[in-house]
Structure formats: structure tokens, C-alpha cells
Amino acid sequence: MSEIYKTDTLIAEDIDKYLEIHQHKTMLRFITCGSVDDGKSTLIGRLLFDSKMIFEDQLATLEADSKRSGTQGEEIDFALLVDGLAAEREQGITIDVAYRFFATEKRKFIVADTPGHEQYTRNMVTGASTADLAVILIDARKGVLTQTRRHSYLAHLVGIKNIVLAVNKMDLIDYDQGKYDAIVADYRAFAQSIGITEFTAIPISGLAGDNITTRSANTPWHDGPVLLEHLETVELNQTVEQDKPFRMAVQWVNRPNLDFRGFSGTIATGTVKVGDDVRVLPSGKTSRIARIVTMDGDLSEAVAGQAVTLCLADEIDCSRGQLLCAAQSPVEVADQFEATVIWMDEVEMTPGRAYWLKLGPQTVSATVAQPKYQVNVNTMEQLAAKTLDLNAIGVANITVDRDIPFAPYTDSRDLGGFILIDKMTNRTVGAGLIHFSLRRAQNIHRQATDISREHHAELKNQAPMVLWMTGLSGSGKSTIANLVEKKLARMNRHTFLLDGDNVRHGLNKDLGFTDADRVENIRRVGEVARLMTDAGLIVITAFISPFRSERDMVRGMMQPGEFIEVFVDTPLEEAEKRDVKGLYAKARAGELKNFTGIDSPYEPPEAPQIRIDTTKMSAEEAAELIVAKLIP
């Protein structure tokens, strides 16, 4: 507390001097994690209170709230100060990350108060992703719990190097050194098993204030730092980042006029000076730094963490998403990686489905393979997994649709940490930490052939395309597809009909009807259709293909304009009434699982090129309409 009073005096007596000191403070971002009753909110409340970040009116509100809904009787319930959402106050739990701010003489602090419950793991990871340090709280009466292990694992996973083990509620075990030492030894054994080599243990009491801001007389045996002292002096990640080679991803190309072309971004790692040689990735072109531009004047050098605009000596191609690197030590470029994936959405991950992968300013299309394993975050066991559910963490291979520059996550959070975005809902559904690129991506190159796809098409005297029929089972896709092919054949067009049932007898006979298998089914058919268009054919497909994202994935595989989506629109009641193959009856009887329309969804196309309403026209009329549109 003494330091804070000292500050007060300085503010009152020499404000200019105070501002001068405050201006040169550094900033530490940390998270606090612990389970419901470990006293996390009380600790933060105490830090805010002791550093005078709680004002009188807030205190008045707090006192009133404490009496109404607090858990501390007549005492102030600091937890109410940090639980900000109505739902949180009602349930007495922390759901989302809350950011709090306080400052001491040496540093400014941003605390992310993260929830402890397993079902809010994604929120804890959000808070941890920007933190330099984690305070892991333990209730001294309970010792190392499952939650302690999970929180430590997650903090270590997202790359937090500084771990503080705060053994709280020491007052409730009479400041017993023996018990404290046993807890620390217990934690050390666990920490080492997951790769945490160092941590700082501190015996504290959030409620009584022991070893928070001042050394407690109750723990004379503690020779380590007190909490605040440690937070004020621990080395910052930022200075570590400066020692690495220079890397900056281009966020925005700054072009106010024809004479100025600058590349704006935040330096991820390293230092850059005017005159340095740089390489642009993935193109590999090189140039030299001509200027480091800021509104406060040009700089001669800039460091990791600064937002700058760089001008190059040469007019080389460079746009958003490209990476500027030190020319002598560029990063790797690849399109396949192994990564740890943290799933964050209520809808489980679908292996093989295309998601947007956002790595800094680069956004590419990506698929996640079936996980190699999932980690049980409570026991650290590796489990076999077909997919990843909400809050699940696993290791899987990722394939993206073009080469991207990256760095392993352990080298750089900016260049190795990505998010996955659902293409339909636009939600952030997952996060990934890149381990390394896969060899096969580096060693398989495309073989150039002399007879081009244009040549193939010319020989057949036609424009290749894929006519993609989608609709419910029994909607009439196969019947119409067959008629269309017959008509085209009569017109001397070279066609091929890929039918869902036929493909499942051969190429895809290893696949079932789960969501993941349906995605793989469509992916393979898409690849086959693409090869056929390369051969110059008009491909007609008849697959239920229930998911928009997979149809979009196939569209993305084809040359622009060669994918024609035909929606064979038959209402469920009508298809079920026809029930040509007797499948709906079986599905209703529960004998067929995952049947589209019954217990598996169908997502109709939003803007199909051709829509066939089978309740209004016959199969013959439908086929005529399609052919007329294709060959005007």
C-alpha cells in the first residue's frame, strides 16, 4: 500500500513529474484463472481497490449490491465488481472474459478475468491469447484440482511463459508452511509433466490482503516476491519478440496518390531499419526498406509491436496478407500443416468441410482432417476422436487452398495462430496453433502436361461444365439428369453422368452417411468432376449434397462459370409421398439413420442458376428447360 500513498503525494505535489513517470510505464497483460470459489474475483477486486481504481460511487453501488446479492454477508463482495453481465450476477458465476485496468508506479496492467468452468473454455482461451502472464489460483484448503490442471494446460498451450501459482486463502489454513510446500511440490510435478519448466509460487490471501501488495508478517518463511512486486518486474514478452528476425504482415496498402505506395502493418517480430533487405512472401521477391513512415515523422528503425507504414525501394507486387521478412531469414511457405485445434462452436467440427482460415490479414479456404487425437483437458490423456465438439482440443492436419507464409506458433503468435470461420454462419468456430508444415506439401509438385484443358475442350468442340443437381432423396434428380444426358448426347455433346448411388457402389463405398462422410463423398465427387472438366467433358451430377458449404466447396474447385447449380425443388411431403425406393418409410421407422429431411438437415441453395419446381413440371419439361439454358 505504501507505494500507492507515495503516488498520491506526488500527484498532489508535482503533477508534471507524475505524468513524466507515468508516461514511461510499460504494460503487462495477464489473466487470472481459477474455479468458482478460489477467490479470483476477490483478488482482482483487491488489486483494484488497493491501487485506487474503485471510485466512491462505484463503491456505493458495490456496497448496495453486496447486501442484496453478495455472498460475503455484510462484507463487500468484490466478485460483484467484476461480474458484469446480468446473467452472471444472477447465477453467481463468470461467463465471459472481463478486462480490468490498474496501474502502479512501474507498470500499467490489463487483467483478463477469465471464467473457470469447462464449458467456457473458449472464453478463457480468448483472454489468454493476448496475455503475457497467468495467475493460477489455488484454494489452499483444496490443493491442486482438475481445474488447476486444465487452466495450466490451456495457459501453457497458448504460449504463456510466465506462470504464477497463487496459493490463496492462506488465512484459512493458518499460514501453514508445510501444507503450502506440499501444494507447490504437487503442482511442480504436474507442471513439469506438461512442459512448464518454471513458475513462481506465492502464498496469498485475497480477502485478508497477505502478500498481494505488501509482504505479509503471517508468512515470514516466504522468501519469494509478493504478487504485485512480481507483476511489476517480470520480463515482458514484447522485448523477447524484438530479438527475433523481422516479420510484418501487410494489413493495408497505403496509396494516397501516384507518388506514394506504403505497406501498413504491425511488426510481429524483430526490428526493421531503413536500408534493410526484405523479402515479400509468398512471392519471394526482394527489395530494400526505403522509408519507415509515421505521422510523427519518418523513423530510422522500428520494433515488434509498433504499427508503421513501410516504403520499399522497388516497385514490387505486394498486397494485403503478404508478409515482409528479413531477406536472409524468411519464414516457411506451405499449404498443409499440423496444428492444435481448439473448437469453439456449439456445432461440432466437420472434417473435410471448407472453413475460412484467418491468419493475421491472410484469409484462405481450409479443411481440417479427422483429428489424430483429442486431448482430455482434465487428465491430459490423448483420446481417439472423429471430430471435435465445443471446447474440445485436438491435433489435426490442415490443408489450405494456396501457399501461405507462416511460423510455428511457438515462434510467433501473430504468424502461427489462426482462427477458423464458418462460411455459412460467419461465426468464429475454432482456433489453431500451427506446429509445422507437412513434408508432403513441400515435396509434391504439379506436373505440367502438354495437352491443356483448352485443347481437350477444343477437340470436343464444347465448353466443359458441371451441371450440379441437388435436392432431397426422391426429388427426381437422377431421372432428370438421365433425360438431360440423353438430349445432350443427341446433340453430339460429350457428357458423363455421375450418379450418387452408383458412386457409392465403387469410389465411395467406404463412406457412410454421417455429416463427415457426406462431406468427403461430395469432395471426392467434386475432384472427379473437376478432372472430367479438365478432359473437356460436360459433367452431370445427381447427389443430394445437402450442405451449402460443400456445394460451395465444389464450386470453388471449378473454373469460374463452369459450375451450374440446379436445384431440383421438391417439398419434403411430396418426396416422401413418392418414396420410390421406400427409404422414407424406413427412415420414419427408425431403420435408417441420418436420412436427409428426416433426421439430417437439407440446406436449399440460396441462388441456384436453375430451379426446377417438380410439382409444376414433368421430368421431360425440366430436362428441356435445363438444356435450353445450357445450349441457347
Cell numbers standing for residue 251? 494489413
* Closest distance to another protein from the beta carbon of 150 (Å): 17
Amino acid identity for residue 406 in this structure = F
Helix/strand/coil for 169: coil
Which region, judged by CB under 8 A, interacts with another protein, from 83-91, 198-206, 396-404, 622-630? Answer: 83-91
Show the beta-strand stretches assigned E in 454-499. Answer: 465-470, 495-499
Contacts 24+ apart (CB under 8 A), 54-63: 54/81
Q: In the annotation, is 51 catalytic?
A: no
- By CB under 8 A, what part of segment 330-349 binds another protein? 344
Q: Closest Cα to residue 269, out of 333, 361, 331?
A: 331
52 forms bridges with which residues in the sheet? none
How many angstroms separate the CA atoms of 247 and 244, rounded? 9
1 binds another protein per the rule CB under 8 A: no
Angle of helix 2-13 relative to helix 15-23, nearest 10 degrees, comes to: 120
Peptide bond into 282 cis (omega under 30): yes
- By CB under 8 A, what part of segment 584-603 binds another protein? none
Q: Closest Cα to residue 187, out of 163, 165, 219, 157?
A: 165
Nearer to another protein, 108 or 504 (CB): 108
* Closest distance to another protein from the beta carbon of 380 (Å): 22
Which region, judged by CB under 8 A, interacts with another protein, from 185-193, 255-263, 325-333, 473-481? Answer: 255-263
H/E element holding 409? none
513 binds another protein per the rule CB under 8 A: no
Which of residues 6, 141, 215, 255 is near another protein by CB under 8 A? 255
322 binds another protein per the rule CB under 8 A: no
256 binds another protein per the rule CB under 8 A: yes
* Closest distance to another protein from the beta carbon of 101 (Å): 5
Nearer to another protein, 15 or 369 (CB): 15
Helix/strand/coil for 237: helix
Which region, judged by CB under 8 A, interacts with another protein, from 23-31, 37-45, 324-332, 580-588? Answer: 23-31
Nearer to another protein, 250 or 532 (CB): 250
400 forms bridges with which residues in the sheet? 366
413 binds another protein per the rule CB under 8 A: yes
- By CB under 8 A, what part of segment 120-159 binds another protein? 122-123, 125-126, 129-130
8 binds another protein per the rule CB under 8 A: yes
410 binds another protein per the rule CB under 8 A: no
How many angstroms separate the CA atoms of 157 and 155, rounded? 5
254 binds another protein per the rule CB under 8 A: yes
How many angstroms separate the CA atoms of 551 and 565, rounded? 8
Rg (C-alpha) for the chain, rounded Å, is 31
Which of residues 285, 320, 456, 586 is near another protein by CB under 8 A? 320
607 binds another protein per the rule CB under 8 A: no
Which of residues 82, 522, 540, 564 is near another protein by CB under 8 A? 82
Binding residues for another protein, total number by CB under 8 A? 86
- By CB under 8 A, what part of segment 531-550 binds another protein? none
Contacts with another protein, 357-386, as mask; x by CB under 8 A: -xxxx-------------------------
Pairing relationship of beta strands 465-470 and 393-406 according to DSSP bridges: unpaired
- For residue 568, the Cα-to-chain-centroid distance in whole angstroms is 36
How many angstroms separate the CA atoms of 317 and 236, rounded? 35
Q: Mind telling me the catalytic residues?
A: 545
